[in-house]
Each structure stands twice: as C-alpha cells, then as structure tokens.
Amino acid sequence: MDDFSRLGVIDMPTESSVLVSSSRYLNNPRLGDAMTTAMLRRNGRDRRVGWDSTNIVRAYWEVRDTGEINRLLAEERKRNAEFDAFMEERFISTFTREDLADYPKGTLGRIFHDYLVAGDLDIALDPRLRVDPDWRPATDLEYFELRSAQTHDFEHILGGVGFDAMAEVVPFWMRIENWNRNMSPELAGEMVSLNMLLIMPMFTRVQLHYPAAYATLSDFVERGIQIGRVARPLFTAKYEPLFGLSLNEARAAMNIPPVEHYDSSEVSTYFGEGAPGTVKQPKAAA
C-alpha cells in the first residue's frame, strides 16, 4: 500500500466497531446517509425534490449543540446592540392572507398575497402558534429560528425569484453570505450549517444528472452572494412596514440593489423530472 504520510495522510487505527471521526456531523449515521442520498440520487416522482430535507433536518437536530448556540447568541447580543434590541423585542408576525389583500398591485405585500392565492396557500407562521396562539419561544435560538422561518418567503421576492425548487438557491445564499458578514464567525458557522447541508446537495445532483440546469444554478449562487454581501442584516429584518412599498423601494430599505425577476420554473420542472428531455435556460424577465 502506498505511504502518503509525507503528504499528511496518516492512518488512525481504532478498535471501534462503528464509524468514528473528529466531526460530529460525520459521526451521525442518519446524517451521513441523508447527505449521500441527497447528493447522488436522481429526482423522481416517488420522492419529490425537497424530500431529502426532512431527513437532513432531523439528523442535524441530533448533532447540533443547542446550549452552545444559545451561548453564542448571548455573546452576540453583548457585542451587537441592534441585534440585542431585536432579540429583546421578540417580535412575531401575526398578519393573515386577508390582511395583505388591500395593498396595491406591485407592492411587497400584494405580491406575497397573490402568490399565496395562486397556490391556495395559507400563511404558516409557525405550527406551534397554530396549536397554541399564546406559545412564545423560550430561548434565543427558538426565537431566531421562528423569525427566520417567518421571513424566508420575502427573501425570495426581494431576491427576484419565484418559489420553485431552483429558486431556493437565491435566499439560501443571501443568508449564508449575509449572516457570515454580520455575525461572529463562530455564531455564523452554527447558524448557516443547516442551510449549507440543505443546499449543497443540489450542486452535485445538478452536475451528475441535470447539467442543463447548471447555468441557472450558477447565476442564482452569484445573485444570492451579491445581495447577501451588501444587504442590511437579514436576520433582524421586519418586513411588515415595507408591505406598502414597491419592490425596489422595499429593496432600497434593506440596501438590496434592484434586480430583474428571473423565472426558473422551467428549469425546476426539468430538474424535478416533471417533463422529459432538457430545457433551454430561461431569460430574466423584467
């Protein structure tokens, strides 16, 4: 057997009968299986595109250190007065779909309303709030995750993309870039870890099985990074005061540059194997 020790490759013998490494992520068999499947499989009608996320999220919950994350959030609050005020306020969205109906056409609030109506969707602000309207987050981490879920759809809209599978790349990379630039490295590493685990398998799956989708994927990564780099901290955003503004006015309020809408629905249909063959790359629509 070749000896690669001079290159820093050292075999580490172990008496363990199970996989063991210095990575808590690699040590979790559920996560290893979920990531391998997500990265290598084709999409199929028996398992929709987003099916992998459930197993990845469950496995991530098993390996994350909630006590350490809450400690890092507390440290960030001491360092960042704006973040501390945001966490102290504990603002929770309570608007309904009907509340959005009166906003004029072309405004952030009306665009979100029309998306909900077109898809016959209700606003899922948090399942725990549906069960108990008086429920409130008990920790900083619970609140941070609640607000992250409540604001995700608006990042789709302000990022100039739809809500199909390929379009998820833009808000994911907006957050990955923005959080890394506006939090301590240690906290950002913890907060974006799930985003990374969920979005990265798309890259291998596209290149292995759906190469005609690569150009759109690459464009969306670039767009998300560019927006996340210059935007105000997205994790403290309160979008309700922006509902009556046009998209570019709302973007300006968040320091997001104007962008053209990019319709990736056709590429997502190809990626999801909803139609045979390949597709032409869609052009950005004004």
Sign of CA dihedral 119, 111, 178, 70: negative
Range 209-227 average pLDDT: 97
Least confident of 27-41, 92-106, 116-130, 153-167: 116-130
Within a domain: 2: no
Range 35-53 average pLDDT: 87
**Do 156 and 59 belong to one domain?**
no
Within a domain: 7: no
Is it the case that residue 149 has pLDDT exceeding 70?
yes
User: Which residue type occupies 114?
Assistant: D
Question: Which ranges of 97-184 would DSSP assign to H, the alpha helix?
Answer: 108-118, 127-131, 140-158, 169-182
Within a domain: 115: no
Range of the domain at 238: 66-93+124-285
Please give the pLDDT value at position 280: 47
pLDDT in tens, 229-247: 999 999 999 999 999 999 9
Please give the pLDDT value at position 19: 73
Please give the pLDDT value at position 235: 95
Distance CA 95, CA 239 (A): 11
Both tokens of 253, joined, read 């309020």
**Do 139 and 53 belong to one domain?**
no
Within a domain: 5: no
**Do 140 and 57 belong to one domain?**
no
Q: How confident is the model at residue 257 (pLDDT cuts 50, 70, 90)?
A: very high
Would you say 242 and 256 are in contact if contact means Cβ atoms under 8 Å apart? no
**Do 277 and 154 belong to one domain?**
yes
Within a domain: 13: no
Question: How many domains are contained in the chain?
Answer: 2
Q: How confident is the model at residue 278 (pLDDT cuts 50, 70, 90)?
A: very low
Query: E strands of 132-262, at which residues?
Result: 261-262
Within a domain: 202: yes
Spatial CB neighbours of 175, under 8 Å, sequence gap ≥ 6: 148, 155, 192, 195, 228, 234, 235
Q: How confident is the model at residue 284 (pLDDT cuts 50, 70, 90)?
A: very low
Would you say 152 and 170 are in contact if contact means Cβ atoms under 8 Å apart? no
Range 266-271 average pLDDT: 94
**Do 36 and 72 belong to one domain?**
no
Please give the pLDDT value at position 225: 98
**Do 59 and 172 belong to one domain?**
no
Is it the case that residue 80 has pLDDT exceeding 60?
yes
Is it the case that residue 144 has pLDDT exceeding 70?
yes
**Do 161 and 250 belong to one domain?**
yes
Q: How confident is the model at residue 135 (pLDDT cuts 50, 70, 90)?
A: confident
Model's pTM, two decimal places? 0.88
Within a domain: 227: yes
Is it the case that residue 220 has pLDDT exceeding 90?
yes
Q: How confident is the model at residue 8 (pLDDT cuts 50, 70, 90)?
A: low
**Do 58 and 132 belong to one domain?**
no
Within a domain: 191: yes
